[in-house]
C-alpha cells in the first residue's frame, strides 16, 4: 500500500519539485495539493506559473486545497512553504501527521534534526523527542540548498581525517531564490530590458537585477550554512537524546550568479590529520561504495552519490548527473593556505538533491526502517 501524501505550497519552485519527485513513485502517491487562499479551487496548471513539462495532465488538473483545511488522514506532508508561514502550518500538521520540509522554520530547534540521508540518517532518532510537544507526527526539515553540497563533500573528510577549519565561497543559481526570482530572471534574460540611467540605478532593488549580474549578498544565507553544517555533522547521543554540534571553524561567502540551476562552491579545508589529494579521491570512492550499499535500495538514491572529476564541475553540463541527485566534486588539490590544507570545487543540484527530492529520499529511508508507516 502506498503512503498518501499532501504537498504544502505546491505551486512554488520547491513544491513543483515535490510533485515531480512523487509522480509515479513506487512507495508514495500524491493525494492532496495545497496552496494559498488566492489559489484555492484552481488547478495546479491554472495557479502555477512555473514549468510543468513532463507532468501528465491528470496531475496538472489536480485542484488546490486551502492550507487552513488540511486532511489529517494523510500519511505524510511535504512542505515547501515560505518559512514564516511554515512555522504555523507545519506545526498544525505535525500534531497529527509526519512532515518533511524544505523550509528553515524548525531547523534550528533542539529536538529537530536537519536530515541528509547519506550523512546523518541516524539523527532521525531525535524526532522521537518531538512527542513531548504533544504531537502524533513530527517535523524533519532538510538543509538550506547551499549547505547540501558542502556537507556531502565534508562528511567523509570529517569522519576520517578530522577538520580544523573550512572556508567556502558559493556561486548560487537564481532557482535557489524561488519562483519570483526565476520569473524575473527569465524576463530579464529573454526579454528586452529598459535603459536605466545612472541616476536611476541606485534606486533599483538589486535583488531584482539578476540577469548578467552578480549579487554579493543573500539574506541570512551565510549564517544558515555555517550553523547547519555544524549541526548536521554533529554527534547524536542516544542515552541523552541530544545532538551536539561538530567543533571546527567555518566561514563562507554566498553570492547569487545568473546561472539557472546548480550551486557551485569552492572549498578550502584544513584537516587534523594529513590528507593528500589522492587520499581524498580514494576516500570519496569508498564513501560512494558505502552509500550504494546502505541506501542504494531507496527509489530516489542515485547510482553514484559522489561523482569525482579531474576538472572543474560545470552547472551547464553536470548539474543533472544521475537525475540531479549526485554531488559533483572536482579540482581536488593540496592548498598552501594552511598546514594539512586541501581545496576542491563542489556542484550540487539545488532544486533536486538540495530540496524536494533530497527530502523524498529522507522519507524513503524512514519508511524503509519502519519509522514512517501508513496510518
Per annotation, catalytic residue among 93, 263, 275, 291: 263
**Number of structural domains the chain divides into:** 2
Per annotation, catalytic residue among 48, 78, 93, 145: 145
Conformation bin of residue 185: beta by default, left when phi > 0, alpha when psi is -120 to 50: alpha
* 148 alpha-carbon distance from chain centroid: 6
Q: Which residue has the cell 550499499?
A: 293
Contact 224, 148 (CB under 8 A): no
Q: Are residues 134 and 236 in the same domain?
A: no
* Residue 204 confidence (pLDDT): 45
Contact 277, 333 (CB under 8 A): yes
* Residue 60 confidence (pLDDT): 97
* Residue 211 confidence (pLDDT): 81
**What's the CATH number where 184 sits?**
3.30.360.10
* Residue 208 confidence (pLDDT): 61
* Residue 19 confidence (pLDDT): 98
Is residue 84 a part of any domain in this protein? yes
Is residue 162 a part of any domain in this protein? yes
Q: What is the tens place of the pLDDT at every residue in 4-56?
A: 999 999 999 999 999 999 999 999 999 999 999 999 999 999 999 888 999 99
In the predicted structure, residue 145 carries a pLDDT above the cut 60: yes
Q: Are residues 110 and 231 in the same domain?
A: no
* Count of Cβ atoms closer than 10 Å to residue 219 Cβ: 9
Average pLDDT on 313-341 reads: 97
Percent of the chain with pLDDT over 70: 95
Is residue 375 a part of any domain in this protein? no
Is residue 374 a part of any domain in this protein? no
Q: What is the tens place of the pLDDT at every residue in 199-248?
A: 444 444 545 677 888 999 999 999 999 999 999 999 999 999 999 999 99
Q: Are residues 129 and 158 in the same domain?
A: no
Q: In terms of DSSP bridges, do strands 242-244 and 235-237 run parallel, antiparallel, or are they unpaired?
A: antiparallel
* Residue 121 confidence (pLDDT): 98
Q: What is the tens place of the pLDDT at every residue in 259-269?
A: 999 999 999 99
Q: Are residues 216 and 301 in the same domain?
A: yes
Q: Which residue has the cell 540577469?
A: 211
**What's the CATH number where 84 sits?**
3.40.50.720
Q: Are residues 26 and 149 in the same domain?
A: no
Q: What is the tens place of the pLDDT at every residue in 66-104?
A: 999 999 999 999 999 999 999 999 999 999 999 999 999
Q: Are residues 180 and 65 in the same domain?
A: no
* Residue 192 confidence (pLDDT): 52
Is residue 156 a part of any domain in this protein? yes
Q: Are residues 74 and 184 in the same domain?
A: no
Whole-number average pLDDT of the chain: 94
Q: Are residues 198 and 233 in the same domain?
A: yes
Output the pTM of the full model: 0.94
Higher pLDDT, 182 or 338: 338
Q: What is the tens place of the pLDDT at every residue in 170-213?
A: 999 999 998 888 888 878 877 654 454 454 444 445 456 778 88
Is 72 assigned a catalytic role?
no
Q: Are residues 245 and 102 in the same domain?
A: no
The string of DSSP letters for 33-100 reads EEE-GGGTTSBHHHH--S--TTS-HHHHTPBEEETTS--TT-SEEEE---HHHHHHHHHHHHTTS-EE
Q: Are residues 284 and 171 in the same domain?
A: yes
Angle at 348 between CA 366 and CA 76, to 5 degrees: 25
Which range marks the domain in which residue 198 is found? 145-350
Q: Which residue has the cell 547540501?
A: 148
Distance CA 357, CA 276 (A): 33
Is residue 45 a part of any domain in this protein? yes
Is 145 assigned a catalytic role?
yes
Q: Are residues 219 and 84 in the same domain?
A: no
Q: Are residues 154 and 59 in the same domain?
A: no
Is residue 373 a part of any domain in this protein? no
Amino acid at each position: 500500500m502506498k503512503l498518501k501524501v499532501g504537498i504544502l505550497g505546491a505551486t512554488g519552485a520547491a513544491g513543483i519539485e515535490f510533485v515531480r519527485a512523487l509522480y509515479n513513485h513506487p512507495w508514495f502517491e500524491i493525494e492532496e495539493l495545497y496552496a494559498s487562499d488566492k489559489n484555492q479551487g484552481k488547478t495546479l496548471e491554472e495557479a502555477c506559473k512555473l514549468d510543468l513539462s513532463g507532468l501528465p495532465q491528470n496531475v496538472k488538473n489536480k485542484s488546490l486545497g486551502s492550507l487552513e483545511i488540511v486532511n489529517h488522514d494523510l500519511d505524510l506532508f511535504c512542505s515547501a512553504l515560505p518559512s514564516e508561514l511554515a512555522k504555523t502550518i507545519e506545526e498544525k500538521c505535525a500534531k497529527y501527521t509526519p512532515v518533511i520540509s524544505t523550509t528553515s522554520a524548525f531547523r534550528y530547534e533542539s529536538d529537530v534534526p536537519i536530515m541528509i540521508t547519506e550523512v546523518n540518517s541516524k539523527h532521525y532518532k531525535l524526532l522521537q523527542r518531538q512527542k513531548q510537544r504533544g504531537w502524533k507526527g513530527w517535523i524533519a526539515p532538510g538543509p538550506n540548498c547551499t549547505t547540501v553540497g558542502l556537507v556531502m563533500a565534508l562528511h567523509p573528510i570529517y569522519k576520517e581525517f578530522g577538520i580544523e577549519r573550512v572556508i567556502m565561497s558559493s556561486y548560487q543559481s537564481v532557482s535557489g531564490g524561488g519562483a519570483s526570482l526565476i520569473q524575473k530572471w527569465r524576463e530579464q534574460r529573454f526579454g528586452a530590458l529598459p535603459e536605466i540611467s545612472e541616476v536611476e540605478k541606485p534606486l533599483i532593488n538589486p535583488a531584482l537585477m539578476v540577469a548578467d549580474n552578480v549579487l554579493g549578498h543573500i539574506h541570512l544565507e551565510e549564517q544558515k550554512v555555517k550553523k547547519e553544517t555544524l549541526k548536521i555533522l554533529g554527534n547524536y547521543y542516544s542515552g541523552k537524546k541530544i545532538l551536539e554540534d561538530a567543533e571546527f571553524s567555518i566561514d563562507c561567502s554566498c553570492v547569487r550568479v545568473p546561472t539557472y540551476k546548480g550551486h557551485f562552491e569552492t572549498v578550502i579545508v584544513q584537516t587534523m590529520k594529513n590528507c593528500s589529494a589522492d587520499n581524498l579521491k580514494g576516500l570519496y570512492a569508498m564513501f560512494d561504495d558505502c552509500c550504494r550499499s546502505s541506501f542504494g535500495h531507496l527509489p530516489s538514491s542515485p547510482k553514484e552519490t559522489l561523482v569525482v572529476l579531474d576538472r572543474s564541475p560545470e552547472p551547464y553540463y553536470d548539474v543533472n548527473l544521475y537525475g540531479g541527485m549526485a554531488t559533483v566534486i572536482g579540482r581536488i588539490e593540496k592548498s598552501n593556505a594552511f598546514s594539512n590544507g586541501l581545496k576542491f570545487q563542489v556542484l550540487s543540484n539545488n532544486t533536486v538533491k538540495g530540496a524536494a527530492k533530497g527530502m523524498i529520499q529522507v522519507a524513503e529511508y524512514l519508511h524503509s526502517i519502519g519509522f514512517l508507516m501508513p496510518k
